[in-house]
Amino acid sequence: MTATEKESKLKAILETERLLNEIKDTDVLLERILTEARSIVNADAGSIYVIEDKTPVKNEDQIQEPIQPPNSEQSVYLKNKILRIKYAQNDTQLKKLEPGSKSPYVYFTFDITEKSIAGYTVLSGKIVNLPDAYCIDESCPYSFNASTDKAMNYRTKSMLTVPLITTNNKTLGVLQIINAQNEKGEQIPFDDDAILFINHFASSATQALEHAYLTSNMIMRMQRMAEYRDPKETYQHVQRVSEFAKEIYDKWAISKHIPKEEMQKYGDILKIAAKCHDLGKVGVSDVILKKPGPGRFTEEERNIMKGHTCIGAILFTEPESELDSMALEVALRHHEWWDGSENGYPGKINYNQYVTGEPVPKAEPLKGTEIPLSARIVAIADVFDALSHKRVYKSAWSVDDAFIEIQKLSGRQFDPELVLAFLSIKERICAINSRWESKAGD
Ligand SMILES: [Fe+2]
Ligand SMILES: [Fe+2]
């Protein structure tokens, strides 16, 4: 590569790094880091891993605490940590799927040991550059696990594995890119230039990631507060609603030909805003929130309960960012009905004048696209998740029955276009469900 080519490449990388800093959701950011890293060195495939606690307490998840770098106590410290693969991308495999499809959902974990390449990278803090993953020197403690290659009928050759270490020497995860290609599409090893670019990119990406964790940890803490008040709004429920919402939006946005940049930006913010849908419950009395049994509310209590939408909106006024604005509309509007019937609430009221603990006053309902898109999406995700999971007052519906119910409510409670998008991604919705169930149980 000539000096001029190198310079223009570095410029492009700097621009990408700037864009990463605008991403707020950690998952969206991790996926983007992987995509961009692959594109910088024209790599066919890759994965990104994060370090997590081994056994999350049920109904809680760990706050992401960056771990300390290798030192004499690290093996003790890492004993209860695992590596979780968050995203795996493979262009060769993707080409075999329908256009517009996403890479399959992955959610497996493994222990951090020197035996795996990613584990070695975490423990040593070193980059591992393999010209051929099948020809590793016997003196190396790690080996290549070929099971995924076998399952996918793929051949991993060159592999570059980079630890994501913050400027404070904390390791957040591992970036692994596979099969660099030249202009002719031939597989080549990662050369010195590639390592230089990826190193530069990885350190900026890590900073962006550290920043995104600050936002996500704050939202997680707020959500835990809401969970103390209303135990059925569990951490897992909120995570699933957030992931479902993003999947529904992506599907809908592709069908509407929404430009890629706009789609990525909206999806990123939606993923976080969806987690805020019921934060307003912090302002509802325990006497009401914890009353057991179905049909448990009097008319007045039901109307007080409806106030959680207004309290949620009040939490996010005066909005100072696009995230605040979307969190506000999701919190305020996730119980509106598409058909404009009085089943929906709170309708056209001034939420700022709502008095906590009082019934929500009657107001003209909102209808159709008067309801913000974000809230129309979260409405489907929230109801589907409530139906398909066990709650204190009801057993879980089967996933099929829950899907049928959402379909029945299309055009009444829910936006029909969004229901169509939701029904067409059943497989992905089920994968998210199993991921969170396995996570709660493992
Ligand atoms: Fe709600
Ligand atoms: Fe909910």
89, 136, 167, 347 from 206: Cα distances, Å? 19, 28, 9, 43
Fold of the domain spanning 3-214: Beta-Lactamase (3.30.450)
pLDDT > 60? residue 441: no
Q: Which two tokens stand for residue 366?
A: 């909102």
Task: Report how far ligand 2's centroid is from the alpha carbon of 360 (Å).
Answer: 19
Task: Report how far ligand 1's centroid is from the alpha carbon of 199 (Å).
Answer: 44
Q: So what's the pLDDT on residue 266? A: 97
Rounded to a whole number of angstroms, the distance between the first and last alpha carbons of the chain is 48
Query: Tens of pLDDT along 387-398?
Result: 998 776 677 889
Beta strands in 108-200 (DSSP E): 109-111, 128-130, 159-165, 171-181, 187-188
Query: Tens of pLDDT along 362-379?
Result: 999 999 999 999 999 999
Chain-wide mean pLDDT for the chain? 89
Residue span(s) of the chain under CATH 1.10.3210.10 come to: 230-441
**Pairing, β 81-90 against β 171-181:** unpaired
Ligand at minimal distance from the CA of 385 is: 2
Task: Report how far ligand 2's centroid is from the alpha carbon of 378 (Å).
Answer: 9
pLDDT > 90? residue 252: yes
Task: Report how far ligand 1's centroid is from the alpha carbon of 394 (Å).
Answer: 17
Q: So what's the pLDDT on residue 62? A: 52
Q: Is 143 exposed, middle or buried (0-12, 13-18, 19+ CB in 10 A)?
A: middle
Q: So what's the pLDDT on residue 249? A: 98
d(CA 174, CA 202): 9
CA nearest to 240, candidates 426, 104, 102, 433: 433
Q: So what's the pLDDT on residue 440? A: 45
Task: Report how far ligand 1's centroid is from the alpha carbon of 335 (Å).
Answer: 6
Q: Which protein residues have a CB closer than 5 Å to ligand 2 (ion)? A: 278, 382
What sections of 389-425 are H helices per DSSP?
Answer: 399-408, 416-423
Q: Are 351 and 313 in contact (CB under 8 A)?
A: yes
Q: So what's the pLDDT on residue 9? A: 86
Q: So what's the pLDDT on residue 306? A: 96
Task: Report how far ligand 1's centroid is from the alpha carbon of 413 (Å).
Answer: 14
Task: Report how far ligand 1's centroid is from the alpha carbon of 378 (Å).
Answer: 10
Q: Of all helices (H) and strands (E), which one includes residue 430?
A: helix 426-441
Query: Tens of pLDDT along 260-297?
Result: 999 999 999 999 999 999 999 999 988 888 887 667 88
Q: So what's the pLDDT on residue 58? A: 45
Task: Note the CATH number of domain 230-441.
Answer: 1.10.3210.10
Residue span(s) of the chain under CATH 3.30.450.40 come to: 3-214
**Pairing, β 187-188 against β 171-181:** antiparallel
Q: Is the peptide bond before 346 cis (omega within 30 degrees of 0)?
A: yes
Task: Report how far ligand 1's centroid is from the alpha carbon of 333 (Å).
Answer: 9
